[in-house]
Amino acid sequence: MLDVDKKSITELRDPSEVMKLSRMGSFHQSRLSFMRILMRQIRDENWKFKKEEFNVNNKGVGHAIYSATGPKNTYSLIAFAHDLPDEKRSDRVIADAWDATFTLYDGSPSEEDIERLKKNVPLQEVGRISENELCLSRANKSVRLWDHIISSLSAGCQPDVKQIDSVGYLMRTTAVYGSGKFGAVDREFVSDRSEFKAPFQYELLSVFMIRWFVLDLVNHMAKVQNPDKAVQLDSKLSYRLGIGNSTGLGMAPFLLNHPVLLNNWILAKETALSRVRSVQKSSTEESRLFLELYEKSIILFGLWRSDHPLQIKKLKEISNDLACLSKYLEKFDFETTYPWDKLFNWSKENLSMEGQEFIISLMMEPYGNLVDELAFTMSDNKQSYVKIDGLKSIGDIRKQLNEVYGWIFNIDWECTDSNARAWYVSQEKLEPRLGERFSEPIESYEQPLSPARDAYRLSKDLDNFGGDELIANFLILKPEHRHTIRRLQIISNHPYSEIHDNTIGSQLLPIDMLRCKLSFFGAVHFDPRSDRWVRICMFKGAPYPNQISNSISDYWSYLEGF
């Protein structure tokens, strides 16, 4: 039995502490990351995976079908392999050709389906999928690693582990589009299936199966090159390969556009932390597991490379943190009362944010029975229309605004630095961009992604009205505040739904928003390529779909199989 002190379970970190971008940009994967949730589900439900067809020719062109069958439904990954000239290889979502393209089909596709998808999936923008498809994605090779592995395998030897670790993946996806994009099924029509209760499960299922296809493809191409001599990639090495992803500004506004979802993610994680901190006594087994995963994490951090000064600085900090932590843990008494709370409090005083957030994720690991059920509180499947309560008085709204947005008054909104940036969508790329408000002609195209500034403007205008007036009347006269009033009413009921930072200030680092989201996906190896886009790795360390059994470890993300 777990020894949890019920009294202290309610102690959650304050949103003013958690929702700062510098902290969100230091989050790490955890038991509540969506990849981890997916892997637990397919293990516990004994999903069956099967290669249905592998029809790729000697030039690497063709298609393959892989199926995944759970207790109720079957899903099929349909992969199209292309022969892409090097000069056309770009990770940008606005590219028009890729090394491979994919869709996840709801069920088992007919030949007509394959023909229809063959004409659409490989095309950007003009290609359409249907309500029978859950998502669409595209991927490019890491040419460097691909060539190295093909040349090694075809010569009958295994590739160099250092080269594998220096890249980490054979292909990286550009984006995985779900939620009705390009004509796919709307999430609301599948979100009630038990396998999709946690967020982004079908997108990640498709990535998990893409990784399998990529492994088959590299083995196939090595064999094509030298049928007599070629060997298959050693399974221990194949675990080290994940699927890469390049994530740019297109994803950054997501956290602002889905406040309830953001709240549910963070609330689940904070609740998990609070439960673990409330454990009065740690068992020997729990402490041992924690220390074992800590040691593995040190190895993982050692593999984490980045050329970007921002991340190099963070990696240095975490290296110092690890030195400090190792010393502390050597003498740490795990038999003390509330050991995790003690460790948490010590980390706040002694570690960088990277280190603090790492320890938080790590201390949840031994406590699946306290943490894992929270996975099913993380969705916002209703995403229903939020009506404005227009019967609230201006006085009520003013009070509410001061309560949830009090922090915005610490920002000097008259200063140009506070308004330096503007979010817009460019005509050329049709993707979100961040521009310089005072030197580019973009202000009239600004997207509503500056809730702090907008709340400030609302507060100024409210000052011109009497406290007893209804907000409905105010909104007839001042419709420009309508989106902010709605947001205020949403935020008031969801403590972790708003980023407590200025999202248009000169100091903004969009990669912090990306890292927060990607850590919840379960990504590792954050490698910022600028302050606006980042490369990551997914499912590194995981078994392949055809190796799933009820004995696979919960801790694959710590590279158990290495």
Interface residue with other proteins, options 10, 284, 410, 427 (CB under 8 A): 427
Q: Contact region for other proteins (CB under 8 A) — 153-161, 219-227, 315-323, 528-536?
A: 528-536
Of 51, 82, 148, 529, the one binding other proteins (CB under 8 A) is 529
Q: Measured from the CB atom, is 248 or 355 closer to other proteins?
A: 248
- Residues numbered 123-142 forming contacts with other proteins, rule: CB under 8 A: 128, 130-131, 140, 142
Output 302 or 390, the one with its CB closest to other proteins.
390
Segment interacting with other proteins, rule: CB under 8 A, options 288-296, 356-364, 468-476, 542-550: 468-476
- State which residue, 226 or 381, has the beta carbon closest to other proteins: 381
C-alpha distances (whole Å) from 438 to each of 418, 420, 450 are: 12, 7, 16
**Residue 96 lies near other proteins (rule: CB under 8 A):** no
CB of 389 to other proteins, least distance (A): 8
536 near other proteins (CB under 8 A): no
Q: Which two tokens stand for residue 307?
A: 């050329």
Asked if 147 interacts with other proteins (CB under 8 A), we say no
Minimum CB separation of residue 531 from other proteins in Å reads 6
Site for other proteins in 4-43 (CB under 8 A): none
- Cβ contact 403:492 at 8 Å: yes
Tell the smallest beta-carbon distance from residue 159 to other proteins (Å). 16
Question: Shortest Cβ distance from residue 228 to other proteins (Å)?
Answer: 31
Residues 163-182 that bind other proteins (CB under 8 A): 167, 179-181
**333 vs 468, beta carbon nearer other proteins:** 468
* Residues between 243 and 302 that touch other proteins (CB under 8 A): 246, 248-249
143 binds other proteins per the rule CB under 8 A: yes
Spatial CB neighbours of 67, under 8 Å, sequence gap ≥ 6: 48, 49, 50, 52, 74, 75, 76, 77, 108
CB atoms within 10 A of CB 475: 16
Please name which of 183, 257, 308 lies closest in space to residue 425, comparing C-alpha atoms.
257
Bin 50: left if φ > 0, else alpha if -120 < ψ < 50, else beta. beta
Rounded Cα distance, 144 and 157, in Å: 17
Please identify which residue in 436, 438, 507, 546 interacts with other proteins, judged by CB under 8 A: 436
Applying CB under 8 A, does 439 fall inside the site for other proteins? yes
Tokens representing residue 520 in the block: 């919840």
Minimum separation from the CB atom of position 202 to other proteins (A): 14
Rg (the chain; Cα; Å): 25
**Using the rule CB under 8 A, which residue among 127, 183, 395, 561 binds other proteins?**
183
The smaller minimum CB distance to other proteins, of residues 439 and 549, is found at 439
Residue from 17, 188, 234, 295 in contact with other proteins (CB under 8 A): 188
Helix (H, G, I), strand (E, B) or coil at 251: coil
Which of these segments, 89-97, 496-504, 515-523, 540-548, binds other proteins (CB under 8 A)? 89-97
Among 237, 310, 470, 552, binds other proteins (CB under 8 A): 470
What are the strands of the beta sheet with 534-538, ordered from one edge? 48-56, 62-69, 74-81, 100-106, 133-141, 169-177, 242-247, 534-538, 524-528
440 counts as binding other proteins under rule CB under 8 A: yes
Angstrom distances, CA of residue 463 to CA of 398, 451, 478, 481, 483? 9, 18, 13, 13, 18
Total number of residues binding other proteins (CB under 8 A)? 73
Cβ distance to other proteins smaller for residue 84 or 351: 84
Choose one: 66-74, 149-157, 200-208, 527-535; the region binding other proteins (CB under 8 A): 527-535
CA separation, residue 276 to residues 63, 337, 412, 431 (Å)? 47, 12, 39, 41
544 touches 211 (CB < 8 A): yes
User: DSSP letter at 469?
Assistant: S
State the binding string over 193-232 for other proteins (x if CB under 8 A, else -).
Answer: ----------------------------------------
Touching other proteins, residues 363-402 (CB under 8 A): 382, 384-385, 387-391
**Complex with other proteins: residue 122 or 435, whichever CB lies closer:** 435
- Say if CB 251 and CB 177 are below 8 A apart: no
CB of 163 to other proteins, least distance (A): 12
CA 80 to centroid of chain Cα atoms: 25
C-beta separation of 74 from 55 below 8 A: no
Q: What residue type is 297 in one-letter code?
A: S
Rounded CA-CA distance 332/340 in Å is: 11
Closest approach of other proteins to the CB of residue 470, in Å: 8
Residues 477-506 that bind other proteins (CB under 8 A): 479-486
**What minimum distance in Å lies between the beta carbon of 406 and other proteins?**
23
59-88 binders of other proteins (CB under 8 A): 86
Q: Contact with other proteins (CB under 8 A): which of 102, 405, 424, 496?
A: 424
Decide: is 91 part of the binding site for other proteins (CB under 8 A): yes
CA angle centred on 512, ends 510 and 518, rounded to 5°: 110
269's tokens: 């994680």
Nearest CB to other proteins, comparing residues 27 and 182: 182
Burial label for 327, CB within 10 Å (0-12, 13-18, 19+), is: exposed
Distance (Å, whole) CA 325 – CA 344: 11
Q: Which of 442, 513, 518, 523 binds other proteins (CB under 8 A)?
A: 442
What is the CB neighbour count within 10 angstroms for residue 473?
Answer: 12
Q: Confirm if 41 and 34 have CB atoms less than 8 A apart.
A: no
